Amino acid sequence: MTKKLHNKIINWGIIGLGNIANKFAQDLLTVENCKLYAVASRSQENANAFASKYNVSKAYNNYEALAKDPNIDAVYIATPHVFHKTHTLLCLEQGIAVLCEKPFAMNSEEVDVMIAKAKEKNVLLMEALWTYFLPHYQFVLKELKNKTYGNIKKLEADFGFKSNHSKTSRVWKKPLGGGSLLDIGIYPIFTALSTLGKPKNIKALATFEATEVDSSCTMVFNHNHDVTAFLKSSFLENTPTEAIFYCEKGTIKINTQFHCPTTVTIISLDGKEETVNFNYNTIGYNYEIIHFNNLLREQKTESDIMTFQFSKQLIQTLDNVRRIINLNY
């Protein structure tokens, strides 16, 4: 059972201390009534350096030791995709709430196991898809739900950059779940699913590296009411990285780096533009942290925003795209 946390500081741990863990840690420091208590790496040197940087009490050189620390209330898992299931189960077995970085796992079967374990242990589990919690994205969701500009006619969403990752990087390694689809393609797909629901059918085409992972993926989702979503991920080129909703009475454009804190531009049918600024002053991870902390304090075991059903639909859609482009892990 998740510990009662209404009147205490929530002690966080982080498993996996790469780039995204640093961003998460920076924003965790801005959130009230919680602290980064422990971190774990496969290297004691790395764990010590991270702990020193963020004034962390405990630095472990293995993940099992962190999971067995009785003072930890919640763990953020930031290891490569292929380890998400293992490290999630490790923490859930100890009754620790888990916020696991996207993609939740490598496939639907792994996600089902993770969710089943969370339910068995009655412990909070959530996929860390931070975009869902950002104020600009919540603003767009509300405008679309209220049909402020009528029904959606078309969606375009892309995420691409010319990768400077070395060929030895995780993103190119098939055994670590590399490729553009799981790493960044998940964001355009998430955008389509969270606004249009499950597609009726999918078309997809990918280019591949010598390491047999996709370097780019172009997708077309056909949704109900004849709405089409044109989606793209790429490590080969810099793309606008925007999400544009073409509606009956105007266009809603989430501006560049749409998955991060950014602005939203409303374009009327006569071409007039109005840009909404959300005055972000953090990297943006604090919003999902606050949501997760609130769930813990309320002794909830599932998010009402990033639900298990939605995480299942997301990984199932990724599985379907992988089948079409013949990307097998």
Q: In this structure, what CATH number is given to the domain that contains residue 270?
A: 3.30.360.10
Summarised one tens digit per residue, pLDDT across range 157-179 is: 999 999 988 878 888 999 999 99
Cβ pair 301, 122 in contact under 8 A: yes
Residues 139 and 260 in one domain: yes
Rounded Cα–Cα distance for residues 263 and 137 (Å): 9
Say how many domains are in the chain. 2
Distance between CA atoms of residues 152 and 140, nearest Å = 12
In the sheet that holds 201-208, the strands lie side by side as 201-208, 214-222, 228-234, 152-160, 243-247, 250-254, 264-268, 273-276
The Cα 159–Cα 216 span in angstroms is 10
Q: Are residues 113 and 83 in the same domain?
A: yes
Residue 1: the pLDDT is 45
Whole-angstrom CA distances from 324 to 20, 215, 220, 261 are: 30, 15, 12, 32
State the pairing for strand pair 152-160/125-128. unpaired
271 and 242 in a common domain: yes
pLDDT at 168: 81
Using DSSP bridges, classify how beta strands 214-222 and 228-234 pair: parallel, antiparallel or unpaired: antiparallel
SS3 62: coil
Domain of 24? 10-130+284-303
- 126 and 139 together in one domain: no
User: Does residue 232 share a domain with residue 107?
Assistant: no
pTM for the predicted model, two decimal places:
0.96
Q: Are residues 183 and 145 in the same domain?
A: yes
Indicate the average pLDDT of the chain: 96
User: Phi/psi at 105 (nearest 5 deg)?
Assistant: -160, -170
Q: What would the pLDDT profile of 269-299 be if each residue is shown by its tens digit?
A: 999 999 999 999 999 999 999 999 999 999 9
